[in-house]
Amino acid sequence: MEDSTKQTVSNLHKLVNSYTMPEKAKNLIGSGNVIVLCGVTASGKNTIANYLVSHGNYRHVVSHTTRMPRANHGVEEQNGKEYWFVSPQELLEMVKNQEFVEVKAIHGETCYGTSIKAVESVFAEGRLPVLEIDVQGALEFINAVPNLRPYFILPPSFDVWMERLGSRGNLTDIEKARRLSSAKMEIETVLANNSFIFIVNHEVDATAEEITRGVDASLGSQAEYRKLAEELLENIRSI
């Protein structure tokens, strides 16, 4: 990496780490129904979001990212479909201009952000936005819109989770450890915050249906789901 690129990335991460949601974004998120999906790595949140979009009045809010496109099940990701793939310099300018609802560096490296413009375009079509964001981004949403209840998606068991994670291409041991470390912090954070609603992804269609029925449909299962989250956390700690 060239020195100029390193400096750009360094500047970007500094601004991202100190970014706060602008008033325009707070008003936007508080103006209508938004489905906010979070989850540990390989929990299936992207698959669930796709199911919601294809079976209801929902639409993806396409996020920006500084990572490179990758292949999912042999199909290369497309710019503007899965993500808007931008350079660190491009994202840096957007952060400076306060164009994001939220923006974060994930796994300590790649930056992801939800732009105000992307959310506005979904509402303009009369649809409900589906946001896939990390836990820290969800916390910002909760702080801005206190009655917001993000969904936090869990795998049905630790063994199934490891199988799903293992199917994610050729992850190095270092990358796997980084993802599990992030998952540990995410689960700890969500367990300590009662605004999140736990959802267990046994089957995509059933999970999506539970989400479309609304928060009340999931409240009766929260004690059971929290216990699973605690078990997953203990498994990570024992590795």
pTM: 0.81
| pLDDT for the residue numbered 147 | 85
Burial profile 35-53: b = 16 or more Cβ within 10 angstroms, e = fewer: bbbbbbbbbbbbebbbbbb
**Both tokens assigned to 113:** 């952000």
Identify the helix (H) or strand (E) that includes residue 197.
Answer: strand 197-200
**Both tokens assigned to 178:** 């980084």
| CA 183/CA 40 separation, integer angstroms | 5
pLDDT above 70 (res 32) = no
| CA 118/CA 232 separation, integer angstroms | 34
How high is the mean pLDDT of the chain? 93
Neighbours of 64 (CB within 10 A): 21
pLDDT above 70 (res 1) = no
Residue with more model confidence, 64 or 73 = 64
Nearest C-alpha neighbor of 137 from the set 119, 121, 122: 119
Provide the 3-class DSSP secondary structure of residue 171.
coil
Q: H helices within 18-108, ranges in order?
A: 23-29, 45-55, 88-96
**Domains defined along the chain, listed by start:** 3-237 (3.40.50.300)
**Both tokens assigned to 61:** 């809010």
pLDDT above 70 (res 28) = yes
| pLDDT for the residue numbered 134 | 87
Model confidence pLDDT, tens digit, residues 93-140 = 999 999 999 998 987 789 999 999 999 999 999 999 999 888 988 998
| pLDDT bracket for residue 17 (50, 70, 90) | very high
Model confidence pLDDT, tens digit, residues 199-235 = 999 999 999 999 999 878 788 899 999 999 999 999 9
| pLDDT for the residue numbered 27 | 87
Backbone phi, then psi, for 111, in 5-degree steps?
-100, 140
Identify the helix (H) or strand (E) that includes residue 62.
Answer: none
